[in-house]
Structure 1
Amino acid sequence: MESPLPVVQPQQKLAHHYDVATIMGGLYGEGMIALKGAFSRAWAARLHEDVLAAYENALKRPGGTVGRGPKRHYVEIHPEDIRGFLDLVSHPWVVAVCEAVLGPEYKVVEIGFDVPNPGAVHQPWHRDFPAPPDTIEGRRLNSLAFNLTTVDVTDEMGPFEIAPGTQWDLPDGFEHGMFPPKELYPRYEQRASRRMPQMGDISARSALTIHRGTANNSNKARPALVLGVDAPGAINAERHDLQVTRPYYDSLPEAVRRHLTCRIVETLEPIVQAHTIEGLMMGEA
């Protein structure tokens, strides 16, 4: 059953400001917030085209994709692979969320996408990486993941599912610090909230909130873009390889450049994804 997560409506925007208390309350509370209609459907349709092209290219080269379970892939891409990268990282809501939770010196460290294809099964409940000391000891979130669907999600398409509030769970008995023991599954299933975003919507979440992809019983893939952002001192950039060419970098506004942790290269190099999550490869047991 879907339960509502905090949603920041566009009319809550005052000039270029969003309510910090609403942002902080959502991400420190349930662990996920959303903005409906952040982008036009036409913008989302272009994103869908770019993601499908990048996916087709990645499937053709060794190491271009990484498995996230049966019939699921993750692909890390270059900012230049999508036409809307600047629109995304400069969106006032994205900027406001990053500044509120991560501070004014936040850094974009990852751009990629997940594709649960038809036949994908339930993932085991998990975090995307082990909780850092900042969260376990300091009770502070030092990273965020933004997600944008490229299709209108339905219940048959394997929606993303989270267990609200579990970003603060201590990792006692978690395999690799990421996979909770199965005796905790009833708790997560009781709290489970399925998300059904539409084209143009955007969400922000703590990747430490326990979550899973559900079974895709449709005949359609469900691509979702992922933008990873860190606070100073976080180490997620070590898992990724954000690259931009010099002309592209120079074309970006200084207000965007200062928030990128990236390599500046003459020619974009194929990315071999390094952040494999072995525990997802078999799906839920």
Structure 2
Amino acid sequence: MLPIASEQYDVAAIMGGLYGDGIIACQGAFSRAFIDQLGDEIAVLFAEARSRPGGALERGPNRYYVEIHPERLSGFAAIAAHPWVHAVCSAVLGPHYQIVEAGFDIPGPGAMRQPWHRDFSTPPETLIGRRLNSLAFNITTVDVQDDMGPLEIAPGTQWDDWPGDPMFPPLAAWERYEQRRVRKRPQMGDISARSALTIHRGTANVSQQARPAYVLGVDGPDGRNAERHDLQLTRAYNDKLPAALRDHLHCRIVDTLQPLVQAHTIQGLLMGAKG
């Protein structure tokens, strides 16, 4: 693993993208061989998670989220310490950012279109202070095609506010999101960064292939997403990591990894879109 270095990335472009559209990407950040390995390991972890109670969280018909132990992925350190990831986190969240989540989403064949939503309630730092204090990184393990349920995002909506449910905009607001929607078709090796507050939805997977996507969640110093997750590292694994990476991990150090029970339930996603 190369040491963290990020001077080659433009801070203004990073800030402009995430404060503007709410999503940016780095194409070809990893080799296809690296992603093949990532996909194989996610498949094993998914099978394990579905075999135990609470291991895989449903987010709609045949759509799952699984939180994982980072060291179960051989490429975790390479992803977490990638220069682009470091550059984006440092630019938006500051030098003391903390990685708080490692997991993956899997929309399988038959997954329904989701309603427009954001992943959690907008914190006051964003709603009032107009500042982002968390980011979500995604890495697809397949070349995304239109029939595989790609993500649609409504650019610039991370600042939106409305009465009622703080995560699900009212149906009366959907026309605006339909007009702004952009469909994302990342390819193997690409990595994206977005505000999870930007309004988005997974579309229907009408193919015969699942669309797994690795998730890395990162907080700024006043972010509170660590409360929803339980990042664990064994002492032996933690001791092998470079200090520059350890400084950015918000985790429990344990002698033996403990089973993870998924906690970040989003009830509004369980039935798919109604509108």
- TM superposition score normalised by structure 2: 0.97
User: Are residues 1:128 and 2:108 paired?
Assistant: no
| Residue of structure 2 aligned with 1:82, choices 64, 73, 82 | 73
* Deviation of the 1:233 alpha carbon: 1.0
**1:53-84 CA distances to partner (integer Å, 9 max, x unpaired)?**
00000000000011111110000001111110
Superposed, which structure 2 residues align to 1:165-204 within 5 Å? 165-170=156-161, 172-175=162-165, 177-204=166-193
2 CA distance for matches of 1:173 and 1:139? 18
Alpha-carbon separation, structure 2, partners of 1:203 and 1:122 = 21
Secondary structure of 1:148's partner?
strand
Secondary structure of residue in 2 paired with 1:134: helix
The whole-number CA distance in structure 2 between the counterparts of 1:184 and 1:121 is: 21
Alignment correspondent of 1:164: 155
Cα separation, 2, equivalents of 1:196 and 1:17: 25
Provide the residue aligned with 1:235 in structure 2: 224
- Looking at structure 2, the residues matched to 265 and 80 of structure 1 have their Cα atoms a distance apart, in angstroms, of 12
Does 1:256 find its partner at 2:251?
A: no
Question: How many percent of aligned residue pairs carry the same amino acid?
Answer: 65
Deviations along 1:242-269, one digit per CA (max 9) or x if unpaired, are 0000000000000000100000111111
1:217 aligned partner: 206
Distance 1:46 1:240, change over 3 A: same
What TM-score, normalized to structure 1? 0.94
How has the CA–CA distance of structure 1 residues 197 and 248 changed in structure 2, closer, same or farther, with 3 Å as cutoff?
A: same
How far 1:17 moved relative to its partner? 2.5
Among 44, 49, 54, which residue is 1:58 paired with? Answer: 49
Letter aligned with residue 35 of structure 1? C
List alignment gaps of at least 5 residues for structure 1: 1-13
1:69 aligns with 2:67: no
Distance 2:123 2:90 in 1: 20
Query: Is residue 116 from structure 1 mapped to residue 107 from structure 2 by the alignment?
Result: yes
| Cα RMSD, aligned residues only | 1.0
Q: Does 1:20 align with 2:15?
A: no
Please point out which of 28, 36, 43 is paired with 1:37: 28
**Aligned counterpart, 1:271:** 260
The answer to whether residue 189 in structure 2 is matched with residue 205 in structure 1 is: no
Give distance in 2, aligned partners of 1:47 and 1:207.
23
In structure 1, what is the Cα distance between the partners aligned to 2:164 and 2:260? 29
| Cα contact 2:6–2:86 (8 A) shared by 1 | no
How many Å apart are 1:15 and its aligned residue? 7.4
- How many residue pairs align between the two structures? 270
Cα distance in 1 between the residues matched to 2:158 and 2:227: 21
Pair 1:147 & 2:99 matched: no
Structure 1 position 173, deviation (Å):
2.2
| 1:185-229 alpha-carbon deviations (Å, 9 max, x no partner) | 111011000100010000000000000000000000000000000
Equivalent residue letter for 1:211: H
Q: Distance in 2 between matches of 1:52 and 1:194?
A: 25
Instruction: Could you tell me which runs of 5 or more consecutive residues in structure 2 were left unpaired when the two chains were aligned.
Output: none
Shift of 1:174: 4.0
* SS state at 1:264 partner: strand
